[in-house]
Amino acid sequence: MSTAAMSRPRSATPGAAGGGNVTFFGVMRSEFIKFASLPSTLILILSTMAVMIGFAALGTWLFGSTMDSFSSPEMTAQMGDLNEITASMPVGGLTFAQLIIGSMAVMVMSSEFATGAARSTFVAVPRRQLVFWAKTLMVTVVSALVALISILVGFVVAKPIADNYSMDLEFTSAAFQRNLWFGMLYVVMVSLIGLSLGSLLRNSAGAIVVLAALFFVVSGAVAGFSTMVSWLADAMRFLPDHAATALMQAPGTEGALETWQSGLVVAGWIVIPLAVAALVLQRRDI
């Protein structure tokens, strides 16, 4: 009996559990299943869509009512390019929805550590980078789909309201196409920054506070003081929300970076936090 016990193979070491045949697609599939099983994710996704669609309708109605009340062409001209403004209505809820979708991305990573699930996750998948980049791809896909659906439904809802006020809101217009695709990029950027913060701080509340501070407090403070401190006006263009918004505006907008420059800034705000988070996750104790 003792001989049989001694000869029994030792195959259940923690570091090797499931590590032999683990693939990236297998890990990603597992992450999607885990993500879909959480009720909070569905609530946050639906909340994001409701805010974006609701503000698309409300913003279009308010803008149409305002334009309808103007009594002279001179007053209308002071509003600027009306086609550009009208085309931005389906993405009018981004300012508020970004914190909701960002919070969801934060919890994708921070909840692993808050619940202690990270230990079992990294026992099953010892290569931490597989888990991190699988979560990154999952968050990218989910946030892009949420943004795309929200903006398209927002357009469908806003279109009859715009027509009622004789506003030109066309799906094929260059202005709306910029808002559609770069608006989707904006949401993906916020989500990936949130994922990075969740991985770095490992605390949902703390990471969400930092995310809100970056997109609301810092951005608002810099914009407010930029009228008094000239260099802040230049610095403001390199903040993530301003750079992403510049992509949705017409090329050559006064005070904004060029399109390719704004694209590089947005890419930097995505790549650098992700790279730092991946490096820290690899070297830090669970």
Q: Which of 199, 16, 218 is nearest to 108 (CA)?
A: 199
Residue 11 pLDDT grade (very low, low, confident, very high; cuts 50, 70, 90): very low
Q: Where are the beta strands (DSSP E) in 77-150?
A: none
Domain ranges (residues) in the chain: 23-283
Q: Tell me the pLDDT tens digit for each residue of 176-209.
A: 999 999 999 999 999 999 999 999 999 999 999 9
Residue 214 has pLDDT above 60, yes or no: yes
Q: What whole-number percentage of the chain has pLDDT above 70? A: 89
pLDDT of 8 strictly over 90: no
Q: CA 26, CA 19: separation in Å to the nearest integer?
A: 12
Task: State the Cα angle at 150 between 112 and 85, rounded to 5°.
Answer: 125
**In Å, what is the CA distance from 81 to each residue of 55, 77, 90, 94?**
20, 8, 16, 20
Measured distance CA(57)–CA(204) in Å, rounded: 31
Confidence at residue 71, expressed as pLDDT on a 0 to 100 scale: 52
- Between CA 7 and CA 120 the distance in angstroms is 28
Among 20-24, 98-102, 258-262, the range scoring the smallest mean pLDDT is 20-24
206, amino acid identity: G
pLDDT tops 80 at residue 58: yes
Give me the numbers of helices (H) and strands (E) for the chain, helices first please.
14, 0
Tell me what the pLDDT averaged over the chain comes to.
Answer: 88
Asked if 55 contacts 96 with a C-beta cutoff of 8 angstroms, the reply is yes
pLDDT given at position 77: 54
Q: Which amino acid is at 278?
A: A
Four-CA torsion 205, 211, 213, 215, nearest 10 degrees: -150
pLDDT, tens only, 80-117: 578 888 999 999 999 999 999 999 999 999 998 988 88
Ranking 116-120, 214-218, 250-254 by mean pLDDT, the lowest is 250-254
* Other CB atoms within 10 A of residue 5 CB: 7
